[in-house]
């Protein structure tokens, strides 16, 4: 097999209690060109190695069922330690159980590359290593090399350093671009492009999210009007935070902002998560109802991840249902995710609202969703989030159906 460029510089830690399987995994890694491979018999030994090395481990490849400290406890320690090695799970356990551990790893903040069944093949392992070497994209894992203060964020806002990036939403039956989601990015003069996780929570906690939301709506709406003037009819989607949903003047403000940029409410969809609605349910219901009455579209984001998503669908006149990417990504090989995906599509169909699949990253996922009758797709398989000028260029170059 051809050696993947750059793999020789990566440092691996294989955590496996069976000596032969540790040796076999090391051999596979060496056949791919790895030069630095460490091994441990359980989680405790792995932590000792991680703490004792001068240079950090890049990728941990771990079994789950081990005596002593098992793989799940190791994952917890990796997440709580704040270390940043990527993780590959290698296990022969039931796929549904492994899927639960995958979810757990993500909750702990571990950079999970994927889970593979034993025996591990070089082809499958190299594909996951390539994911690590590709590096985290700012849209997926926003850069947060250091913690920012509220003052720094507000200074950036005052200096006009924040802008919307746009990720297209494509109609699956035709491949036509029907819309784009505006995602906040900070073009930091020293740190580069920084994703929303690094600044939105700060703005929400400090009470400054209203001014930021106004800036984002105004900027994104202006960009949308610019591509519409060029003949592209794609609409605009924007996210609303819990604090924004508590403002009783929200709908009037949103109407004023979009009209000022030459759009009408029917051009814009506001996306809200279940947790955003739950924070102040009475005001959220009032605001969402009024936004819908004014003509805006409403989308329930990350559908299927909350405890009462179906109840929210019954309460509010949503026009769109966005299916969480976890169900999309795992639908091909996990029965629970496949069932959740099919159920979500069925509910959207019965309610006569659009179904949008988030996080579509492969042709396999695209084909499955299309076969199941999903209306729209959004994700890296279509395009990554782009700055406004790049999005316009992408629209102009796009002349074939996906």
Q: How far apart are CA 204 and CA 280, in angstroms?
A: 14
Q: Is the dihedral of CA 382, 385, 391, 394 positive or negative?
A: negative
Q: Beta strand pairing status for 297-303 and 268-273?
A: parallel
Q: How far apart are CA 2 and CA 288, in angstroms?
A: 55
Active-site residue, 163 included? no
Which residue among 358, 361, 365, 387 is the active-site one? 358
Contacts of 224 by beta carbon, 8 Å cutoff, 6+ apart:
180, 234, 235, 236, 261, 263, 267, 268
324 touches 352 (CB < 8 A): no
CA distances from 324 to 183, 301, 356 (A): 16, 7, 9
Q: How far apart are CA 364 and CA 332, in angstroms?
A: 8
Burial class (CB in 10 A: 0-12, 13-18, 19+), 108: middle
Q: How far apart are CA 35 and CA 65, in angstroms?
A: 27
Q: What are the percentages of helix, strand and coil residues in the chain, rounded to 5?
A: 45, 20, 30
Half-sphere exposure of residue 323, counting CA atoms within 13 Å on the CB side?
Answer: 32
Residues taking part in catalysis: 358
């Amino acid at each position: 097999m051809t050696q993947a460029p750059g793999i020789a510089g990566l440092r691996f830690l294989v955590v496996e209690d069976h000596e032969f399987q540790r040796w076999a995994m090391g051999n596979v890694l060496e056949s791919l060109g790895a030069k630095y491979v460490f091994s441990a018999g359980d989680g405790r030994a792995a932590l000792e190695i991680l703490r004792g090395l001068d240079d950090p481990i890049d990728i941990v490849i771990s079994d789950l069922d081990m005596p002593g400290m098992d793989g799940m406890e190791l994952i917890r320690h990796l997440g709580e330690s704040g270390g940043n090695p990527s993780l590959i799970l290698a296990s022969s356990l039931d796929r549904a159980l492994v899927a639960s551990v995958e979810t757990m790893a993500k909750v702990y903040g571990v950079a999970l590359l994927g889970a593979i069944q034993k025996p591990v093949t070089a082809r499958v392992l190299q594909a996951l290593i390539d994911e690590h070497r590709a590096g985290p994209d700012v849209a997926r894992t926003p850069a947060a090399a250091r913690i920012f203060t509220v003052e720094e964020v507000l200074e950036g806002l005052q200096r006009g350093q924040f802008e919307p990036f746009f990720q297209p939403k494509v109609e699956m039956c035709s491949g036509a671009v029907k819309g784009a989601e505006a995602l906040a990015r900070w073009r930091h003069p020293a740190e580069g492009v920084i994703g929303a996780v690094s600044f939105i929570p700060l703005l929400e906690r400090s009470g400054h999210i209203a001014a930021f939301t106004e800036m984002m709506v105004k900027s994104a709406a202006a960009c949308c009007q610019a591509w519409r003037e060029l003949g592209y009819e794609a609409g605009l989607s924007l996210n609303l935070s819990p604090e924004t949903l508590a403002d009783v003047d929200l709908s009037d403000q949103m109407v004023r902002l979009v009209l000022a940029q030459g759009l009408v409410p029917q051009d814009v969809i506001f996306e809200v998560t279940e947790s955003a609605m739950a924070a102040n349910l009475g005001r959220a219901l009032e605001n969402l109802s009024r936004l819908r009455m004014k003509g805006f579209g409403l989308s329930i984001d990350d559908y299927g991840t909350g405890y009462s998503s179906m109840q929210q669908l019954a309460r509010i006149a949503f026009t769109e249902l966005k299916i969480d990417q976890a169900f999309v990504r795992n639908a091909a090989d996990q029965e629970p995710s496949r069932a959740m995906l099919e159920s979500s599509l069925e509910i959207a169909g019965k309610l006569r609202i659009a179904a949008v699949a988030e996080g579509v990253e492969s042709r396999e996922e695209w084909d499955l969703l299309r076969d199941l009758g999903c209306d729209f797709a959004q994700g890296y398989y279509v395009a990554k989030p782009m700055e406004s000028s790049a999005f316009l260029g992408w629209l102009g170059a796009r002349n074939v159906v996906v």
